[in-house]
Structure 1
Amino acid sequence: MEKRKEGILSQYDKNKQLYLNFLKYFLNTIEGIVIEESIVLQSIESRVKTRESLEKKIELKEKYRSIEEITDICGIRIITYFSDDVDKIANMIKRDFELDEINSVDKRETDDPTKFGYVSLHYIASLKADRLRLSEAHRFKGLKIEIQIRTILQHAWAEIEHDMGYKAVGDIPIKVRRSFSRLAGVIELADEEFVRIKDDLQDYSIKVQKEIKDNDESEISIDLISIKAFVYSDGEYLQNVKESAKKASLPLLDISESKQEQEIFSLIVKVCNKLDINNISELKRIYFKYVKILEIIQLKEYEFITYVKTYVTTPLVKILRVLDSAASTDINSDMFITLYEEIYLY
């Protein structure tokens, strides 16, 4: 046993840099694919098992004859926000990498209704033949990596469970076992509910965009989703913003290019609530009531400014800020101009 252990550790020492390079290559590949698939992750963690950890594993298992039999020397942990993204990433890994089916395990699947605690998808994977033919990857032939995929809630459970030192039902004192089981059910339910909420929001967004494009806006209440849909989907609003920018010889930039995109939309919602603007139809009416005055002011203003950034939200935000200063949606032209100058010119 001791001789086998020393032989494996010697192989580890010899190939340590290769493992590090393999991990980096695999991590970069995974991150590139995740971006292509438009999956938003909470985090990706990676590690090469330390010599001390490997030595403990060999001593504990007492079955390894060579380092090739140990499949988790390199490891990646992918943490998602939503449980359905776990399945998307799992399918992506099956598609783009060689999966070791024998050593892979889905700990989410169990026939034991009393099982609780750490659930995660563990895949053992390697590079496919087509990738290994690439000059930068052929040296990684035969290397495997463990990929753990879990939601952020599953990760929280795993970290707490690890800190407490409990890994099986029998480890838990009987008096608190029921509490653990209840909590596990709550976490599983929360994962499912977050997916449902995400789907509901996506459905709502699609519905709102359609209603705005169809000019059926009177029943659309003000919120972050409806404001975004209005700015990006309302044909009359977009046409007016483009024409105004053209008159002032200003480049019209996509709001998504601004780091403050979320803050800008949140500001619009906040001001609408303060001014008691309750739906998109009302907001649109107010915008077109004041936009001509705004255009006149800005044409004069831009004669003295050499560089101005303007986004699709800029005129809407400026009008709302003026009205917010007046604490009213019904002011005359002179008052609008005075307040605008106080906010933007002095």
Structure 2
Amino acid sequence: MNNIDLKIEEFKKYYHANLAYYNSALTFLIKRIESLPNVEYVSGRIKDYDECLSKFDRKYLPDITSGKKDYRIFDSLSDFIGIRVVCLYLRDVNIIRKGLSKYFKEVAITDKTVQIESTDDKFGYKSLHLDLSLNDKYSKKTQFAPYANIRFELQIRTVIQDAWSVLDHKIKYKKSIPQSLKRRINRLSALFEIADDEFLRIDDEIALEEKKISDRIKEGGAIENDKPLDVFRFLFVALKYFPEHNFIEFKVDGFVQEILDIKKEFTESELNDVLETFLHRAEEIAENEKKALNPYTKIRYCLYLFDRILFSSMLSTYQKKSTLPTK
């Protein structure tokens, strides 16, 4: 048996003997990473045995001389444990990278974003690849000690980058395709990149609109006439009457859309007038029914009392009966 065959046999025994340990390490590492801010989701894997050998044969074996006997196949596999972190926005990549320093130290870095942006003829997905291991502080802690010598590869991607990587995987071994197809792939890749930038800009603008609401409330801003209702203007009015309620984004969005589906031109000032005029009646109904009504239900009552025909769909038949005068 020649030297390489001995090394393969050695690696085979090592792989199967330690697989359970590395799966345990993977679970441990994912739990640490999931706790970091701005992480949307985390996934990981242990590289398949055949995949390990294939990568070693392709990438590392040519650099190892036939006479060299003091190497291990496993030592060449920095991505034996691979973890992928997905975040929403480009800004989150660096936030997560900084957060990782709580537990880990960087052994090596591959920034595919820099690689791709430095060329004009290369296509592929952007992401940040880090080779990590536990930092000195945590490697000494009892519960961390079993994994003190673990080195793993971690990729940080946005949701958009992750989506592109799925497509990129289909074409990554087809670099000799016709130039016309390469051009089309580059155009598609550019669209993904634009989408990443636009989602970030939109998120920034949403944060700015939310700050405007907060500032208007703090400064006692006046209700603005004839301004079409949207999520932000709804919140400005609603928080005036329900300052303690935590309005959840997706619920607000759905509720505002329901109002606009009924009356497209509904305005901020109209909503304020409706609540100012009829909220006391909604409170009386809650008291008569001996029920604690949430703000959305109270606003539904107010809208219905404002125009029983137009906003008829806002209440159930039973709720409509409760608005009738009691004898």
Q: TM-score range by the shorter chain?
A: 0.7 to 0.9
Instruction: Find out whether 1:182 has 2:187 as its counterpart.
Output: yes
- Change over 3 Å in CA distance of 1:197–1:264 after alignment to 2: closer
SS of residue paired to 2:282:
helix
Root-mean-square deviation (Å): 2.9
Q: How many residues align?
A: 304
Of the structure 1 ranges 265-274 and 205-214, higher mean CA displacement relative to structure 2 is found in: 265-274
- Residue 70 of structure 1: aligned partner: 77
TM-score (ref. length: structure 1)? 0.78
User: Separation in 1 of the partners of 2:25 and 2:261?
Assistant: 53
User: What pairs with 1:115-194 in structure 2 (closer than 5 Å)?
Assistant: 115-166=122-173, 170-194=175-199
Q: Any conservation in 1 of the 2:52–2:77 contact (CA below 8 Å)?
A: no
Matched residue, 1:248: none
Paired amino acid for 2:309: A
Report the 3-state secondary structure (helix = DSSP H, G, I; strand = E; otherwise coil) of the residue aligned with 2:85. Answer: strand
Name the counterpart of 2:259. Answer: 271
Amino acid paired to 1:22: A
Q: Which region of structure 1 is more displaced relative to structure 2, 144-153 or 205-214?
A: 205-214
Structure 1 gaps of 5+ residues are 243-252, 303-307, 330-336
Q: 1:271 to 1:298 in 2, by over 3 A?
A: same
**Matched ranges for 1:254-333 at <5 A:** 254-256=246-248, 262-263=250-251, 265-272=253-260, 274-275=262-263, 278-302=266-290, 308-323=291-306, 325-327=308-310
Query: Equivalent residue for 2:67?
Result: none
Query: Aligned pair 1:4/2:7, yes or no?
Result: yes
| Distance change >3 Å, CA 229–CA 148, structure 1 → 2 | farther
Matched, 1:18 2:38: no
What is residue 201 of structure 1 aligned with on the other side? 206
Distance, in Å, in 1 between the alignment partners of 2:81 and 2:323 is: 57
| Aligned-partner SS, 2:114 | coil
| Cα distance in 2 between the residues matched to 1:69 and 1:97 | 20
Residue among 228, 239, 242 paired with 1:221: 228
1:268/1:320 contact within 8 Å kept: no
Distance in structure 2 (CA, Å) of the matches to 1:82 and 1:291 = 40
2 CA distance for matches of 1:338 and 1:284?
A: 26
Whole-angstrom distance in 2 between the partners of 1:97 and 1:338: 59
| Paired letter, 2:195 | A
Instruction: Give CA-to-partner distance per residue, 1:251-290, whole Å, 9 cap, x none.
Output: xx7555xxxx723552244225524563323211111101
State how far apart, in whole Å, the 1-side matches of 2:318 and 2:33 are. Answer: 56
Counterpart mapping for 1:91-130 below 5 A: 91-101=98-108, 104-110=109-115, 111-130=118-137
Query: Equivalent residue of 2:45, what SS?
Result: strand
Aligned residue type for 1:311: N
Q: Which stretch of structure 1 is more off in the superposition, 13-22 or 206-215?
A: 206-215
Distance 2:197 2:233 in 1: 25
Given that 2:286 and 2:293 are in contact with CA atoms closer than 8 Å, whether structure 1 keeps it comes out as no
CA contact (8 A) 1:27 1:76 kept: yes
- Deviation of the 1:45 alpha carbon: 1.5
Instruction: Give the counterpart letter for 1:215 in structure 2.
Output: G
Q: Which runs of 5+ in 2 are unaligned?
A: 65-70
Match of 1:45 in 2: 43
**Aligned-partner Cα distance in 1 for 2:103–2:231:** 37
Shift of the 20–299 alpha-carbon distance from structure 1 to 2, 3 Å rule, reads same
Task: Indicate how the Cα distance of structure 1 residues 255 and 181 shifts in structure 2: closer, same or farther if over 3 A, else same.
Answer: closer
CA distance in 1, matches of 2:160, 2:9: 39
- C-alpha displacement at 1:26, in angstroms? 0.7
Percent of counterpart pairs with the same letter?
23
